[in-house]
Amino acid sequence: MPADYHTHTPLCRHAEGEPEAYMDAALLAGVTEYGISDHAPQIPEPFDDWRMSVAELPAYFEWIERARLRAGGRIPVRAGLECDWLNGCEDWIADLAGTHEWDYLIGAVHYLGDWDFDNPVWLGRWVKSDVDAVWKHYWETYAKMADSGLFDILAHPDLVKKFSYVPSGDLDRFYEPVIDAIAGSGSVIEINTAGWYKPCGEAYSTPRFLELACSAGIGLVISSDAHAPGEVGRDFARAIELAKAAGYRETVLFEKRQRRVEMLV
Ligand code: ZN
Ligand code: FE
Ligand code: FE
């Protein structure tokens, strides 16, 4: 099984479980490495209600240490963050990068302007939106995040489909420019299996996007985005099939922001 690098902790206020339980689940799932990447603090505080605060960073490092202790050297435990890509966030991301010896940083687009569009609380805003315009805004934002070169991994590439608001016609018009940006950045993307449990009923990203990404030489990781111990490594066998169907033969491993590859078996 590949590594599972995209997982959360209760510090983000919408995940549950102790580090020992997450670790036991990782060992049971047989992932080669376990990585913790909770929602990063964002300034100015308070920013929203679904992330840790700056003051909670020490508690986060303690949480990671407890996971390491439980692992007892059986598998590596990596430290990361899922950082929000926001207008003008570059300096803040650079600050965060310097707070710890991270193994990787994940970049994610959850916000379009002031709208965290993947938050079910604001579903009403989707109903009133021009889906084509939202998709255009989303993918342009995603490409800018890739261009920044600040992140090792780019999260859930087509999260914008979460609530099944998808434009009609060939979606390559959205995918192609962003594939170029990601390939140019050297960042890797993830297959995020949580999408199978959302209204869209599809992993992030779609097979077509993965096929284009593989052809462009973009690296891949497989992630559960676990917010509870039972979700660690969830549906990885299915994700491996999806990756192979797109042409992938390997996934990427990270340690202190350096990478190597592991064959997909
Ligand atoms: Zn979350
Ligand atoms: Fe996310
Ligand atoms: Fe996440």
Distance CA 16, CA 181 (A): 35
| Among 82, 78, 61, residue whose Cα is nearest residue 14 | 82
User: CA dist 25 to 3, 30, 138, 238, Å?
Assistant: 13, 9, 34, 18
**For the CA of 107, the nearest ligand:** 2
What pLDDT, on a 0 to 100 scale, did the predictor assign at position 41? 98
What pLDDT, on a 0 to 100 scale, did the predictor assign at position 188? 98
Distance CA 31, CA 5 (A): 10
pTM for the full predicted model: 0.98
CB 255 within 8 A of CB 5: no
Rounded to the nearest angstrom, the distance between the alpha carbon of 46 and the centre of ligand 1 is 17
Helix (H) or strand (E) holding 35: strand 34-39
Rounded to the nearest angstrom, the distance between the alpha carbon of 207 and the centre of ligand 2 is 19
Question: In the chain, where are the structural domains located?
Answer: 10-263
Strand 188-192 to 115-116 pairing: unpaired
Tens-digit pLDDT profile for residues 207-253? 999 999 999 999 999 999 999 999 999 999 999 999 999 999 999 99
254 strand-pairing partners: 259
Rounded to the nearest angstrom, the distance between the alpha carbon of 192 and the centre of ligand 3 is 9
What pLDDT, on a 0 to 100 scale, did the predictor assign at position 88? 97
Q: What are phi and psi of 46, to 5 degrees?
A: -75, 140
What pLDDT, on a 0 to 100 scale, did the predictor assign at position 145? 98
Dihedral sign for Cα 60, 191, 134, 138, please.
positive
What pLDDT, on a 0 to 100 scale, did the predictor assign at position 164? 98
Rounded to the nearest angstrom, the distance between the alpha carbon of 51 and the centre of ligand 1 is 8
Q: What are phi and psi of 32, to 5 degrees?
A: -75, -30
Q: What average pLDDT values come out for the chain (265 residues) when binned by 10 residues?
A: 98 98 98 98 97 98 98 98 98 98 98 97 96 98 98 98 98 98 98 98 98 98 98 98 98 98 96
**For the CA of 108, the nearest ligand:** 2
Rounded to the nearest angstrom, the distance between the alpha carbon of 37 and the centre of ligand 2 is 10
Distance CA 2, CA 240 (A): 9
Distance CA 192, CA 212 (A): 17
| Among 226, 189, 205, 258, residue whose Cα is nearest residue 38 | 226
What pLDDT, on a 0 to 100 scale, did the predictor assign at position 45? 98
Question: Cα-atom radius of gyration of the chain, to the nearest Å?
Answer: 17
Rounded to the nearest angstrom, the distance between the alpha carbon of 8 and the centre of ligand 3 is 7
Task: Write the DSSP symbol of residue 41.
Answer: P
Q: What single letter denotes the amino acid at residue 122?
A: W
Distance CA 73, CA 81 (A): 22
Rounded to the nearest angstrom, the distance between the alpha carbon of 263 and the centre of ligand 2 is 26
What pLDDT, on a 0 to 100 scale, did the predictor assign at position 128? 96
CB 108 within 8 A of CB 162: no
Task: Tell whether domain 10-263 is in CATH 3.40.50.1370.
Answer: no
